[in-house]
Amino acid sequence: MAQFLKEDVQRVIRRAALEAFAEEGFEAATIAHIAKRAGVSTGNVYRYFENKEVLLLDVVPEAFARQVSRLLRRRVEAARGHADPRKVTEWQDVSAELLDLAIENRLAVAFLFDPQKAAGTVHAGFSDALVVDLVALAILHARSRDRRFEPSAADHLVLTRIYRGLVDTMVAVLRAHAAEADIRDAVDRFSTYHLAGLKALLERT
């Protein structure tokens, strides 16, 4: 029974910490506030987690961040050379896997994708680095469709804004909706808009 109680306390602390980090940001969230959310004493939090940094890496591990990044890269890479990636089985499969992961880990993904919330942590540069990576992959996709494609400074600016918007929209969706059906509907609607706009930009004559 004692072991069960210990695991139960750790579970509520983790949940409270993830909610606090995702909603308030790492720097604003305090151990005392996390303890209050969890309904335990501050000392009880320190009993299981040495400090706030250790607690963060418990609820948003670096391995998880790498997994999200890999899936996003695979999603863009799967579209390479195809006029409509929605018809490509690999793109469909990776997109489904990525969305399932985001739904299952809604608050962790929202935290990772928000540079302000992740400030002061090992994940601080994740969101901005992800946008840079996605822009580079989008350019490679455009070149796979037209070898003559050479992005201008304006192209780089617009692509950066497009992918910043993609990442920010995912944060908004994951914060606004807790129900799986609502998340899937919102992501599907935005994906249709995003892909159409990207295609028009990269394949213009």
Considering the domain architecture, whether residues 166 and 191 belong to the same structural domain is answered as yes
Query: Are residues 193 and 97 located together in one domain of the fold?
Result: yes
Tell me: do 98 and 155 sit in the same domain.
Answer: yes
Summarised one tens digit per residue, pLDDT across range 165-188 is: 999 999 999 999 999 999 999 999
pLDDT tens digits, 151-169: 889 989 999 999 999 999 9
CATH of the domain at 37: 1.10.10.60
> Of 39, 58, 77, which closes a domain?
58
pTM above 0.85, yes or no: yes
Q: Using DSSP, how many helices (H) and how many strands (E) does the chain show?
A: 10, 0
Average pLDDT, the chain: 91
Fill in the DSSP letter of residue 108: H
Give the percent of the chain with pLDDT over 90.
Answer: 70
Q: What is the pLDDT of residue 5?
A: 58
pLDDT digits (tens, 9 = 90+) for 49-93: 999 999 999 999 999 999 999 998 898 888 888 878 888 899 899
Per-residue pLDDT, 52: 96
* Average pLDDT rounded to a whole number, residues 128-134: 93
Under 8 Å CB-to-CB from 72, ≥6 apart: which residues?
98, 130, 133, 134
Q: Which residues contact 98 (CB under 8 A, 6 or more apart)?
A: 68, 71, 72, 75
Residue 54 Cα distances to 58, 59, 61, 145, 183, angstroms: 6, 9, 10, 45, 30
- Total domains in the chain come to 2
**Quick one: 106 and 95 in the same domain?**
yes
DSSP string, 25-91: -TTT--HHHHHHHHTS-HHHHHHH-SSHHHHHHHHS-HHHHHHHHHHHHHHHHHHTT-S-GGG-HHH
Residue 205 has pLDDT above 60, yes or no: no
Same domain, 17 and 34: yes
Using the predicted structure, report yes or no on whether residue 37 has a pLDDT greater than 70. yes
Per-residue pLDDT band at 204 (split at 50, 70, 90): low
8 A C-beta contact, residue 186 and residue 177: yes
DSSP H or E segment with residue 146: none
Looking at the structure, do residues 54 and 71 belong to the same domain, yes or no? Answer: no
Question: Domain residues for 81?
Answer: 60-202
